[in-house]
């Protein structure tokens, strides 16, 4: 563990993390779309959980899925099945 200049402790696992945070795979298994209750697809590149049934993409911020419909991005026509 290291301490930042402002005195906050920062956990250092020794392994470098990618620029985007990762989401716990177990969490991804249990999360469903709050609108349709259907499964979600994890878009690692865009850091979103996509509900094709609802036509929404829920953002993942700092490794935390934001499962609020009002925070979701509507999928474009080219993103829908």
49-80 confidence digits (pLDDT tens): 999 999 999 999 999 999 999 999 999 998 88
Phi first, then psi, for residue 67 (nearest 5°) are -95, 45
CA angle 77–80–81, rounded 5-degree value: 130
| Domains of the chain (ranges, CATH numbers) | 18-79 (2.20.25.10)
Higher per-residue confidence, 20 vs 35: 35
pTM of the model: 0.72
Strands (E), 1-81: 2-3, 9-10, 41-43, 48-51, 56-61, 64-65, 73-74
The pLDDT confidence band at residue 23, using thresholds 50, 70 and 90, is confident
């Amino acid at each position: 563990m290291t301490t930042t200049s402002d005195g906050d402790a920062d956990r250092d696992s020794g392994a470098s993390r990618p620029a985007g945070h990762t989401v716990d795979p177990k969490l991804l298994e249990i999360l469903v779309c709050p609108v349709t209750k259907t499964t979600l697809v994890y878009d690692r590149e865009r850091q979103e959980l996509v509900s094709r049934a609802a036509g929404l993409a829920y953002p993942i911020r700092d490794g935390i899925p934001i499962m609020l419909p009002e925070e979701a991005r509507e999928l474009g026509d080219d993103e829908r099945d």
